[in-house]
Every structure is written in C-alpha cells, then in structure tokens.
C-alpha cells in the first residue's frame, strides 16, 4: 500500500526568517519535493508567523501540484485566510505562542462547541478538515462527533519515548486509535517527531494512510539535498511486502 508523504516545509522558512532573507524559499523546496515523490505539501501558518508567512501559503496555493495541507489554530484570523486561500485540506492544531513546536493534540472535548462550528464553516466552504489529536480513543470519538472526516494522530510521545516499554505502549495507542478511526470511517494521518528510523514501525499500521513529516527531512536535505532526502523517506514509507 502506498502511504502518502506530506512534507512539512516549515523549517525551510525557519532558516529564511532567521535572517529575513528571500532564501531559502519554501515554494522552491515544495517544487523539488514534489518532483522527488512527495504526495503533499504541509505548512503551518502560526499566529506569530515564526516561519511560514501568508505569502508562502498564497503562492503555494498557485504552485503546488499535489495537495496543500494548511495546519492552523482554530482562530477567526485563520478561518478568514483558509476560506480565502482554499487549501486542499485544513488540519486544525492547538497553538501556544511559547511552545517550541506543536506539543500536544487538540483538546476536542474542552473546545467542543467552538470546534463544531469551526469545522462546519470549513466544510460549508467545501474544505476537507482534519483534527490533530493525541492517539486516544476518547479524543477520537469526540473528533468523530464533530463530523471531522479525518484525523492526524500526534506521534510525538512515541517519537520521544525514552525506553522500549513506553515506546511499545505509545505504538499500541497509535495503532488502536488508527484502527478505531478507520472503523468509524475516518481517514487517518500521523505525524510529529518522525524520522527515517522511527517511522518504520508505524508503516506497519495499515490504517495510517498519510505521514506528515518535516524536521527530519529538512535536516537531511541540508546535508544531501532535498531531492535525495525526500526519496529516502518515500522509500522508508514503502510497506514491507507480506
């Protein structure tokens, strides 16, 4: 089965914003990545604009040949941008200014009424919506109750697990959540903290259709080039023959 690779290009923009230069341009990186086999381009437009800028999202909307996945917080500002730019998919993520990266999944229960209306507004505009949640069955059911057609499972705890027992536990939680989501008819993606090695076991979870991976690929691209870094990940995502 072919697993989709969504390349998150935020950190190309991180390098650019470090010096407020015009380079490296995430738009150029996206084009090379698609030519190398990426199935999707993912960007997170953060409220503080620390990496991806609105300009990037708008140009990518014109240039991306595969699918454009816009990650964003569920704010009114972002809703306006999403309805205007119309990415192929909107992934709602929790966002805190002080965090280094997205540290946990959305608390769907706590923000239920707000998210229900928010998801509906996006769906009314024919946008596909995904919710970035922890691999937790309660959270998954809550996402399903919001009529979200897809979820992205947060793999950060799995990636950060310090010992084999916790890693196995996290892997099981992801697999259980992926299976439950598929049974409910939801599309399942996964991402955060994944690299060329730790993704191998997740590829064995058949229900996960798509992986959104950023930091590890951009880091490798700095050493071997974007083309090679993407091709290596496309190879890593090929499920072993049964």
* Residues known to be catalytic: 44, 71, 192
- Which window, 58-66, 138-146, 214-222, 233-241, contacts ligand PXP (CB under 6 A)? 214-222
CA 173 to chain centre: 18
- Which window, 47-55, 113-121, 137-145, 212-220, contacts ligand PXP (CB under 6 A)? 212-220
The nearest distance, CB 44 to ligand PXP, in angstroms, is: 5
What letter does residue 106 receive in the DSSP assignment? -
Which CB, 34 or 210, lies closer to ligand PXP? 210
Residue 68 Rama label (left phi>0; alpha psi -120 to 50; beta):
beta
Regarding 108 and contact with ligand PXP (CB under 6 A), the answer is no
Q: Which of 34, 39, 56, 71 binds ligand PXP (CB under 6 A)?
A: 71
Q: Which of 93, 108, 188, 199 binds ligand PXP (CB under 6 A)?
A: 93
Burial (0-12, 13-18, 19+ Cβ within 10 Å), 104: middle
| Long-range own/partner contacts, residues 229-235 (CB < 8 A, 24 or more apart) | 230/5, 230/7, 230/32, 230/33, 230/36, 230/37, 230/38, 231/36, 231/37, 232/196, 233/5, 233/7, 233/196, 233/199, 234/5, 234/36, 234/37, 234/38
Regarding 193 and contact with ligand PXP (CB under 6 A), the answer is yes
Helix (H) or strand (E) holding 152: strand 150-154
Confirm if 17 and 31 have CB atoms less than 8 A apart: no
Which CB, 10 or 170, lies closer to ligand PXP? 10
Q: Which of 39, 187, 214, 221 binds ligand PXP (CB under 6 A)?
A: 214
Tally Cβ neighbours within 10 Å of residue 191: 27
Regarding 105 and contact with ligand PXP (CB under 6 A), the answer is no
Q: Which of 139, 146, 212, 233 binds ligand PXP (CB under 6 A)?
A: 212
Of residues 119-158, those binding ligand PXP (CB under 6 A): 132, 152
Which CB, 141 or 215, lies closer to ligand PXP? 215
Confirm if 156 and 193 have CB atoms less than 8 A apart: yes
Q: Are strands 210-213 and 67-72 parallel, antiparallel or unpaired?
A: unpaired
Q: What track of x and - describes contact with ligand PXP for positions 40 through 59 (by CB under 6 A)? A: ----x---------------
The nearest distance, CB 13 to ligand PXP, in angstroms, is: 11
Of residues 159-188, those binding ligand PXP (CB under 6 A): none
Q: Enumerate binding residues for ligand PXP (CB under 6 A).
A: 8, 10, 44, 71, 91, 93, 101-102, 132, 152, 191-194, 212-216
């Amino acid at each position: 089965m072919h697993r989709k690779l969504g390349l998150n290009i935020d950190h190309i923009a991180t390098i650019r914003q470090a010096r407020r230069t015009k380079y490296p341009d995430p738009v150029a990186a996206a084009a090379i990545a698609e030519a190398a086999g990426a199935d999707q381009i993912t960007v997170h437009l953060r409220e503080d604009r620390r990496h991806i800028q609105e300009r990037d999202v708008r140009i990518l909307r014109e240039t991306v040949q595969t699918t454009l996945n816009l990650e964003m917080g569920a704010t009114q500002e972002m809703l306006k941008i999403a309805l205007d730019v119309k990415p192929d998919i909107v992934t709602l993520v929790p966002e805190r200014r002080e965090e280094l990266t997205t540290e946990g999944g959305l608390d769907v229960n706590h923000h239920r009424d707000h998210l229900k209306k928010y998801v509906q507004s996006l769906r009314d505009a024919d946008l596909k919506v995904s919710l970035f949640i922890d691999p937790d069955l309660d959270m998954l059911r809550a996402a399903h109750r919001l009529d979200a057609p897809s979820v992205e499972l947060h793999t950060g705890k799995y990636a950060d697990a310090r010992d084999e027992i916790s890693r196995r536990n996290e892997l099981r939680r992801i697999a259980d959540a992926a299976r439950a989501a598929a049974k409910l008819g939801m599309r399942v993606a996964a991402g955060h903290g994944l690299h060329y090695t730790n993704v191998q076991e997740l590829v064995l979870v058949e229900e996960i259709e798509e992986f959104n991976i950023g930091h590890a690929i951009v880091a490798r691209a700095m050493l071997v080039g974007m083309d090679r870094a993407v091709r290596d990940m496309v190879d890593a995502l090929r499920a072993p023959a049964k």
